[in-house]
Amino acid sequence: MVDSNRKPATIKDVARAAGVSYQTVSRVINDHPSVREDTRRRVKEAIRRLKYQPSSVARSLATQRSKLIGVVSFGSPEFGPTQMLYNIEQAAQMRGYHVSISSIPALSRKELVLAVNALRRQRVDGILIIAPLLEAETGFLREFAVPIVLVDADPSVGLPTSGIDQLYGARLGVAHLLELGHRRLALIGGPQQWNNARERFQGWKEALLEAGLKPVAQVFGDWSAKSGYAATRTLLETKQSFTGLLVANDQMALGALRALREAGLGVPGEVSVVGFDNIPESEFFDPPLTTVYQDFPSLGQSSLAQLLALIEAPAEAKTPRLIQPKLVVRASTASVKTQRQKTFLPKRRKVNE
């Protein structure tokens, strides 16, 4: 029977049970390296046996750390920002940190100031800001006396940043299509006020030019399947033939697949399609979508690691960190040799014209 009147164990109770000083117990709780392993094991066993719960207030006073990380999230329903937020929170919990989230409707200076000040009042150790838009004004954030790392931001802002290498991701998609023999490539890009959309467009264009090829055409959507459908219809109306199509996210690729099907063009029989993101549904598209996988779990871990490094050693943690994406090949792409060539080959002249 549990004694409900029994007082909770204190740090001094643990120290007596383990035969050490309460300062040693404190060092074990705070993962201080200057504790021998046998002593550390003995203290942890005493903590377990006595069901001791360290005081977060006392721990904060001892370490001058709150173990609380602030995250400012741009209020966007898009897959990328949502996954960034989720994986940052998971990474923080794995490192023993709590997360306080401030979701703002717009990445304006006014909203950022309000959010950062609100988090500072909570005595956060540092702040991660998901800032995917180009027009986001962030330079003024250097004025705040708190470590800040920007996630998915333009690396040229002059602040520590962490993100996924979008240029490389677009190049992966283009390289895959080129390896399959495609030489006429079109693009459905994302809204160009987004950092990642602009970099994917740039990567697609650079990869083609380096291969000695001219881009066939490009149309831009708003990340939605509906805009991908409309953009593909626009591409087809230009009458410019293409056998490969890079789409800046999987939702727009879903719309593109429908538009191509309605136009009587098989995928990958006549057009090979590459998406971006590798959303969970992409392997169930018809056909399953070849896509560029963004490693959001690694981004969450990298972002948090950079922020913690900035907290520990501010002068050594300002180099941008980039996670390398990977290509996931499925059935929406195929070699030109397996495509029905008649759709895109020029008409033959009659012999006796």
| Domain 68-164+296-322 fold | Rossmann fold (3.40.50)
Query: Mind listing the pLDDT tens digit for each residue in 281-306?
Result: 999 999 999 999 999 999 998 999 89
Residue 61 contacts by C-beta under 8 Å, 6 or more apart in sequence? none
Length of the chain: 353
Cα 272 to the chain's mean position, in Å?
26
Q: In the numeric block, which tokens belong to residue 210?
A: 């380096």
Q: What is the DSSP string of 126-183?
A: EEEEE--BTT---GGGGGSSS-EEEES--GGGSS-EEEE-HHHHHHHHHHHHHHTT--
- Better pLDDT: 118 or 31: 118
Q: Indicate the burial class of 175 (C-beta count within 10 angstroms; 0-12, 13-18, 19 or more).
A: middle
Query: Mind listing the pLDDT tens digit for each residue in 214-252?
Result: 999 999 999 999 999 999 999 999 888 999 999 999 999
Q: How confident is the model at residue 59 (pLDDT cuts 50, 70, 90)?
A: low
pLDDT average, residue stretch 299-319: 81
User: Structural domain boundaries of the chain?
Assistant: 68-164+296-322, 166-295+328-341
Residue 313 contacts by C-beta under 8 Å, 6 or more apart in sequence? none
Answer for the pair 151, 162: CB distance below 8 angstroms, yes or no.
yes
Considering the segment(s) 166-295+328-341 as one domain, its CATH architecture is 3-Layer(aba) Sandwich (3.40)
pLDDT at 335 over 50: yes
Fold agreement (68-164+296-322, 166-295+328-341): yes
pLDDT at 353 over 80: no
Identify residue 118 by its one-letter amino acid code: A
- Identify the CA nearest to 150 among candidates 330, 290, 310, 18: 310
Return the pLDDT at 331: 98
